[in-house]
Amino acid sequence: MAQFSSLRAPGSWLLALLVFSTIFERLNIFVPSLDFSLKISLILLPIVGLALLLKTRLTPTPTFLFPALAAVVSTEILSIIFSFDRFQSFQVVVFHLLMIGLFYLIIWSVRSERGLARLVWGWGIGSATVALLGIWQFFHYALGGDPTLFFERWFSAKTLPADTFLQSLYGLISWRARWDIGMLDHFLRPPSTFIDVTTGASFVGIFLILGFGWFLSWKREDLRRVLIGMLLAVSSLYFLMAVSRSAALGLLAGVGLFAYLYLKDRFNPRVIRVAIITVAVAVLGLGIFFTVTNRLGSTLNRLTYVQDSGQMFIKNPLFGVGVGNFEPYCRSVLNPGSPACYSHSILLTWLGEMGILGLAANLFLATVVIYFLYRLFDRLKRENVWKWRIAGLLAAYVALLFSNIFHAHYGLEFTWVLMGLAVACWYQAKLEVITNTSKLDVLGIKVDNVTMNEAVERVRDFFKADRRAYFATANYNRVQRGRYVVTPNSEMIIAAHQDKEFTRILNQADLAVPDTVGLVWASRIWGTPLKERVAGTDLFLRLCEEAARRGGQIFLLEGSAGLHSAERAARELKRRYPKLKVAGTLIADDSPENDAKTVQLINRSAKQSIDLLFVAYGHGKQEKWIKRNLPKLNVKVAMGVGGALDFAAGVQKRAPEKIRELGFEWLYRLVKKQPKQSWRIRRQLALLPFIFLTFKESFKR
């Protein structure tokens, strides 16, 4: 039972419980005296999020989907300005922001294959629960019993008899045939308590595809294969009983795509595509025939919704009538007094509510999800278990999109769960195709994938290598001793894009550590995560501690344009590390004309070689100075430290530790700007190209 041991981990069931709750769209908590209601899933969301945050089980990353999500949310927010009912639009935007929170909660909390599998089990158990409730209700009602569930009295959602069930089986049994055999005129389409019939069928249909991907990924003897097979069997029975045209269309599209992905490596892809398209056209033809002969009235009603959506689009082609306002605008303006006015298509909803911009933003979001999943699927080998999980999620997402062509449940909680599962699975699977983990190319700059301790150990290795060279050489002064460490950050990456010499210097460094959280986030967005941020200021202090431990010497070199904090920093460092030897401090110009004088002063400051030279000229200048002069210096390791001397001297204060851990030190320094630091705002604006290039690069990787 080792496969299920993770379920006993503290808090491991919380997110799975949240996933389970997202299916029951009508399961609300009501407070009649306050005229207040809230979905169970929205109550659980902040509780689960806070619990995982307190257990430090979250790993924040923007994800490759962030630009598309930002486009959708921005369009929705702008639509509020032109909205028919601004409060209604505001509520929908708040709901979607909560759903984005759910999406990221899934991604940030999934750290392993087991963590992702728990959420799939949560979806599967939710699907089976819907199926069992619906099957019980149907048969109980068919046998003349009361289909009401015993716990319905606790909630406002009630069992509602729907259309004739057998007729929904594509009209295979006519009303006369039912009359002749004594069947009831109306049957219950299960279930209609807590979830719309079509929405429930779509949710279950998605699990049939998603679960099958996991089923294929496990070995035949694996007990999990048997258990998920049972969930699939129960869900399949329900789907057959509660057939919905839109859910059936979605399942057809999803199964067709999955079949293509499964067979395309074994047979001629062109032949497979032709076969799948032929079958799809035949099934669609039957569906159209059924619609024309048995559901013509319903179809004509939906055509009026196309007209309504067109009128909303004409009113405001860019932003529509406001997100969440299709039905209010339709019932109040277009069809006053109409008891219902529902778009029955997510495409019509997007177009009518948010205009062409909203439609484009949402289609862009869907395209990005499909593009990333398909590209990774193509890179994975057939024997890789993640290949079929990615295939299942890709096909399930396509099924969701197609089922919403004639329905509009896209955007409910389980939509965001599915996207969260898809993106989390993409990141887990991406780790399988990483070949080189020691260095990462960040927009042309090679960065070492090390932790703080590993970075310090690498510098120790430099000292050891230097010592071995000393004993192997008769004349120590002839040994090439100098090594240098760089601390690339987002600004340096962008500066290097415009300066080929700076690029070369950074890439030739003996050690390059990710100084800012921007580099770490970029690596996570690409699915090739750096282990952690190694802040240059923290590395500077750790190396001073190491120098004190081994009895070595350091030297502090500061530019004349700085805050002249080198001497104060030296005193503070000696107070903090009593055994530390400071060979000297110097404030000098960084110009090439002054290099000889500066080198001479540094070499004269110590009788023996200096272990660590820390140069604080600001990024770009300090690295170029080190590269020019390191061969002439009696120094073992040099490192550019930027403003670290100011922090060590206490001239400037760093962000609190918790803020640094969350990766928002840059924001703290921007808000709490020190004297002579007003240029920070301009520097932060210069990071916009880094953000753009990061997301652009994600499409290439």
- Do 68 and 205 sit in the same domain of this protein? yes
- Do 428 and 481 sit in the same domain of this protein? no
Q: Are 119 and 106 in contact (CB under 8 A)?
A: yes
Q: Which of 442, 549, 552, 550 is nearest to 487 (CA)?
A: 442
Report the pLDDT value the prediction gives residue 411, as an integer from 0 to 100: 78
Q: Which of 408, 433, 458 is a domain's end point?
A: 433
Instruction: Report the alpha-carbon distance of residue 616 to residue 552 in Å, rounded.
Output: 20
Q: Which of 380, 407, 433 is a domain's end point?
A: 433
- Do 141 and 68 sit in the same domain of this protein? yes
Give the tens place of pLDDT for each residue, 548-596: 998 889 999 998 877 788 899 999 999 999 999 999 999 998 888 999 9
Contacts of 417 (CB under 8 A, 6+ apart): 19, 22, 102, 103, 106, 119, 123
Query: Does residue 489 form part of some domain?
Result: yes
Instruction: Report the alpha-carbon distance of residue 365 to residue 208 in Å, rounded.
Output: 24
- Do 489 and 346 sit in the same domain of this protein? no
| Tally of CA atoms within 13 A in the half-sphere of 147 that contains its CB | 26
Q: Are 164 and 185 in contact (CB under 8 A)?
A: yes
- Do 481 and 424 sit in the same domain of this protein? no
Query: Does residue 162 form part of some domain?
Result: yes
- Do 32 and 152 sit in the same domain of this protein? yes
Residue owning tokens 């004297």: 675
Contacts of 657 (CB under 8 A, 6+ apart): none
Count how many domains the chain has.
2
- Tell me the mean pLDDT per 10 residues along the chain, length 701: 44 78 69 59 83 74 93 94 92 92 91 89 91 80 71 60 45 56 53 66 92 92 92 91 80 90 82 76 66 54 80 92 91 82 85 94 96 94 92 96 84 90 94 78 94 94 69 45 89 92 95 92 92 92 92 90 84 92 90 91 85 92 94 92 86 72 66 54 72 91 76
- Do 394 and 485 sit in the same domain of this protein? no
- In this structure, what are the phi and psi dihedrals at residue 606, rounded to the nearest 5 degrees? -140, 140
Query: Does residue 686 form part of some domain?
Result: yes
Domain extent for 607: 439-446+477-700
- Do 515 and 595 sit in the same domain of this protein? yes
Give the tens place of pLDDT for each residue, 640-665: 998 888 888 888 777 777 666 666 66
Q: Which of 405, 433, 461 is a domain's end point?
A: 433
Instruction: Report the alpha-carbon distance of residue 549 to residue 581 in Å, rounded.
Output: 10
Query: Does residue 462 form part of some domain?
Result: no
- Do 497 and 401 sit in the same domain of this protein? no
Residue owning tokens 């193509």: 378
| Tokens (6 digits) for 439 | 């260095």
Cis amide linkage into residue 317, ω under 30° from 0: no
- Do 632 and 578 sit in the same domain of this protein? yes
Report the pLDDT value the prediction gives residue 298, as an integer from 0 to 100: 56
Kindly tell me the number of DSSP H helices and DSSP E strands found in the chain.
28, 10
Query: Does residue 245 form part of some domain?
Result: yes
Report the pLDDT value the prediction gives residue 232, as an integer from 0 to 100: 95
- Do 533 and 427 sit in the same domain of this protein? no
**pTM of the predicted model as reported, rounded to 2 decimal places:** 0.85
Report the pLDDT value the prediction gives residue 165, as an integer from 0 to 100: 45
- Do 264 and 152 sit in the same domain of this protein? yes
